[in-house]
Amino acid sequence: MTDILCKTKDLKITFPHRLGDFTAVHGFDMEVRRGEIVGLIGESGAGKSTIGNAIMGLLSHPGKVSGGRIDLEGQNLIDLTGAAMARLRGRRIGMIFQDPMTSLNPLMTVGDQLAESIALLQDLPMAQARQMAADRLDAVGIPDAVERMGQYPHEFSGGMRQRVVIALAMAGNPDLLIADEPTTALDVSVQKQVLDLIRSICVERSLGVILVTHDMGVIAETADRVYVMRHGRLVETGPTGQVIHAPSQQYTRDLIASIPSIESREERFRNPVKRTGEIDQWLLEGHRHEGTDDYVTASALTKDFATRKKTFWGTSGSFRAVDIPGLSIARGEVLGLVGESGSGKSTLGRMMIGLVQPSSGNVHYSDHGPLAEVRSRAARKALRRDVQVVFQDPYSSLNSRMRVDHILAEPIRFHGLAERADIPRLVGALLERVGLPPDTGRKFPHQFSGGQRQRICIARALSVRPRFLLCDEPTSALDVSIQAEMLALLMELRRSLGLTMLFVSHDLAVVRQVSDRVAVMKQGKIVECQDAEPLFDAPRNDYTRMLLDTAPRASGHKEANNLRSGI
């Protein structure tokens, strides 16, 4: 129990800058033992990845360790020369990165990359290394390992690639493995398999693992102990169960409280935005949006995309991204649309608001008629005024060359919704309505944080006084505490303005919090669609059940932890 593998003591990491150094990590203490998984959790900017990179000796320029120690079984890594540190990498410490798509050399076969590592790190002749490489691929759960050795990374799926990355990181039989957000780029069903693999390697080889992540669910299901970080400082540490169930610090309590639960719909997220009546009056002006009839109905909708297969005559072949018999959303309803990546949920969402042309079938709006027949300039303008969208990525969804007040004023002016002289006042009120100071309009988007930018996006969508809002993964790029605020804002707006919503997300817990009804998509088809509560509590479809079962949950650690408490 006491054989400490790796230990940091008062670790301090600084990034020098001409306008004052930025300290990413202030005096951090951590211990990792053999055979345990230590979770390192924090929101973006907490410094958690920096610690992993520092242990590897791979801090990005110009960062440097400016104080403290990193001990690996008694040896202080800080004192090592570059060459000595390089000898430890791969042999004593291994690392896996977040994105398996970009972690492998695209021009070398998987077998060559693995055999190369094994031959170099274990001083074996190439033939023997290749033999061992096949065994290793087999061991990380890649079927037909010998055959797949000769394939290139682009021929592997995301989950399979991450397995290859793990095999590569383990090629030199390291004692310590640093996993930096190893499952963030993966779908939940694959995520669980990769975490299980890391878990089993850890136990089998009595490996010490540092699991860096922002996801409390991942920590809860995998880590033995957890370190909670914020702004480069340690907030709290302890066994996973204790930290999650009885956090001693306010920050940890808030962090855990802001995680949406997949088990139930909660009303605990409060929207701190101050409401002013005047702007709501303006937003509701000129429309009647009452009743419970179907606001929008899709029927026999399909979308085909050309596959990128090059043939002699150009590109050919296609695959069906969306194929649904029908889907409707009632006035004032929030429909959640759930699916894994590539399920076609975003494409379906965009077809529903006319941003993507369907290959066949049509979308019918009760106020505007079939989308295919909305052709005239006036009719298109009227439709565009009613239907708006909020995207996932708050960075690419604002034009970085335009001032925020111009971004918000443009739609109002284009649709002639206010007198020219009133527009600046309206823009200020809109900003205030989404929780930003009204005078921030003079700034450019890059001067705002991710969450603030997402608020600006919501304000832009509201600026045309829409009735229907497509939210395409609106919280997926945000930290969990910001996500909670954003969900609260969206729900409050929906109630105050009577918006109809299509809420697209891969995150079941988020969808549960906002949706009246939920549709589950898999490979372009809707496998289940019913009211939210019965769908989550008693799913009828196997796929839905599988999604619900594999989703990591912060509260679900108990059994896993009890099992391991004897170790």
At which residue do the structure tokens 């005078």 appear? Answer: 439
Q: Nearest CA to 348 among 8, 178, 107, 338?
A: 338
Q: Which stretch binds other proteins (CB under 8 A): 108-116, 235-243, 426-434, 492-500?
A: 108-116
- Restricting to residues 81-100, name those near other proteins by CB under 8 A: 86-91, 94-95, 97, 99
Site string for other proteins, 334-373 (x = CB under 8 A): ----------------x--x-x------------------
Task: Rule CB under 8 A: choose which of 54, 115, 145, 165 binds other proteins.
Answer: 165
Residues contacting 562, CB < 8 A, separation 6+: none
CB-nearer residue toward other proteins: 18 or 274: 18
Q: Which stretch binds other proteins (CB under 8 A): 163-171, 198-206, 254-262, 518-526?
A: 163-171
CA distance linking residue 477 with residue 426, whole number of Å? 28
- Restricting to residues 31-60, name those near other proteins by CB under 8 A: 56, 58
User: 37-41 and 208-213 as β-strands: parallel, antiparallel, unpaired?
Assistant: parallel
Total interface residues for other proteins by CB under 8 A: 69
Q: Which stretch binds other proteins (CB under 8 A): 240-248, 269-277, 322-330, 454-462?
A: 454-462
Q: Is 414 in the site for other proteins (CB under 8 A)?
A: yes
In the complex, the smallest distance separating the C-beta of residue 411 from other proteins, rounded to whole angstroms, is 5
In the complex, the smallest distance separating the C-beta of residue 89 from other proteins, rounded to whole angstroms, is 4
CB-nearer residue toward other proteins: 54 or 527: 54
- Rounded to 5 degrees, φ, ψ at 112 are -60, -40
Question: How many helices and strands in the chain, by DSSP H and E?
Answer: 21, 20
Q: Element (H or E) spanning 157, and its range? A: none
Q: Nearest CA to 528 among 517, 514, 544, 513?
A: 544
User: 233-239 and 369-370 as β-strands: parallel, antiparallel, unpaired?
Assistant: unpaired
Residues contacting 443, CB < 8 A, separation 6+: 403, 404
Burial (Cβ within 10 Å: 0-12, 13-18, ≥19) of residue 506: buried
Q: Is 17 in the site for other proteins (CB under 8 A)?
A: no
Q: Is 385 in the site for other proteins (CB under 8 A)?
A: yes
CA distance linking residue 182 with residue 191, whole number of Å? 8
Q: Nearest CA to 448 among 471, 414, 482?
A: 482
CB-nearer residue toward other proteins: 267 or 312: 312
In the complex, the smallest distance separating the C-beta of residue 192 from other proteins, rounded to whole angstroms, is 23
In the complex, the smallest distance separating the C-beta of residue 197 from other proteins, rounded to whole angstroms, is 17
User: Residues in the site for other proteins, rule: CB under 8 A?
Assistant: 18-19, 56, 58, 86-91, 94-95, 97, 99, 102-109, 116-117, 120-121, 152, 154-155, 165, 168-169, 171-172, 308-312, 314, 350, 353, 355, 380-381, 383-385, 387-389, 391-393, 396-402, 410-411, 414-415, 457, 460-461, 464
